Chain A
Amino acid sequence: MFEGLSLDQAPPISVVLRFFLSVPVFGIFLSVLMMLYPTQILTVNHPLSLAAIHLLFLGVITMSMIGALFQMQSVLGGRPIPAPLGNAFLIHILFSVGIFTLAGAFITQIAPLFVLAATLLGSGIVYTVFLIIPLLFKSSLHDTLRGMRLALISLFITALLGIVMADAYAEGNFSTFHEAIRATHYSFALIGWIGALIIAVAFQVVEMFYVATPYSDWCKHNVFRIIPAALILKTLWLFLALPYVWVFDLLLAALLMGFFTTTVRRLRERKRRVSDVSIWFWSIGMGLLFVSLIAYGGYLWNMEEVILQIAVIAYALFALSIILGMMGKIVPFLVWFHLSSAGYMDAPIMSHVIPLKRSQSLFGLFVLVCGTAVMSVLYPPLFILTGVFSFALFALLGYNLIQALKLYRYTLTHGTRFTLE
Chain B
Amino acid sequence: MILLDTRELDHPIPLEMAVDAFKTLKSNEVIHMIHRREPIPLFEIITKNGGRYLSYQDTDQLWHIYITRDGDLEALRV
Listed in ascending order, the chain A residues whose CB lies under 8 Å from chain B are 1-3, 5, 7-10, 75, 208-211, 214, 271-272, 274, 276, 329, 332-333, 336-337, 340-343, 345, 349-350, 418, 420
A343 touching B40 in the complex, CB below 8 Å, given contacts A211-B8, A211-B9, A350-B12: no
State A238–B40 Cα separation when bound (angstroms): 45
Contact of A2 among B10, B16, B45, B55 (CB under 8 A): B55
Asked if A7 and B43 sit within 8 Å, CB to CB, the answer is yes
Q: A208-B37, A418-B23 are in contact. Are A276 and B45 (CB under 8 A)?
A: no
Q: Is the CB–CB distance between B49 and A418 below 8 Å?
A: yes
Q: Which residues of A contact B27 (CB under 8 A)?
A: 420
- Given known contacts A5-B43, A10-B41, A418-B23, A350 and B49 CB-to-CB distance under 8 angstroms: no
**Closest CB of chain B to A291's CB: distance in Å?**
28
A209 to chain B: closest residue by CB: B11
**Which residues 14-51 in B have Cβ within 8 Å of A in the complex?**
15-16, 19, 23, 25, 27, 36-38, 40-41, 43-45, 47-51
- Taking CB atoms, residues of chain A closer than 8 Å to B25 are 420
Give the residue name and chain of the B residue nearest to A418 (CB). Answer: B23
Are A336 and B48 neighbours in the complex by a CB distance under 8 Å? no
Q: A5-B40, A8-B44 are in contact. Are A272 and B57 (CB under 8 A)?
A: no
Question: Please, how many angstroms separate the alpha-carbon atoms of A329 and B13 in the complex?
Answer: 12
Tell which of A9, A209, A211 touches B44, judged by Cβ atoms closer than 8 Å: A9
Q: 19 A-B Cβ contacts within 8 A? A: A1-B78, A3-B57, A7-B40, A7-B44, A8-B44, A9-B44, A10-B44, A211-B10, A336-B15, A337-B15, A337-B44, A341-B44, A341-B49, A343-B49, A418-B23, A418-B49, A420-B49, A420-B50, A420-B51
Chain A residues with CB under 8 Å of B44's CB are 7-10, 337, 341
- Chain B residues within 8 Å of chain A by Cβ, number: 32
Interface pair A345/B48, CB less than 8 Å apart: no
Closest to B47 in A: A7
Known: A1-B78, A336-B12; 4 extra A-B contacts, CB below 8 A, are A8-B47, A336-B16, A350-B12, A420-B69
Expressed in whole angstroms, the Cα–Cα distance for A401 and B8 within the complex equals 30
Least CB separation from A345: chain B residue: B23
Query: Which chain A residues lie closer than 8 Å to B23 at the CB level?
Result: 345, 418
For the complex, give the distance between the alpha carbons of A332 and B15 in Å.
13
Kindly report which residue of chain B lies nearest to residue A3, judged by CB atoms. Answer: B55
Task: For the complex, give the distance between the alpha carbons of A399 and B68 in Å.
Answer: 39
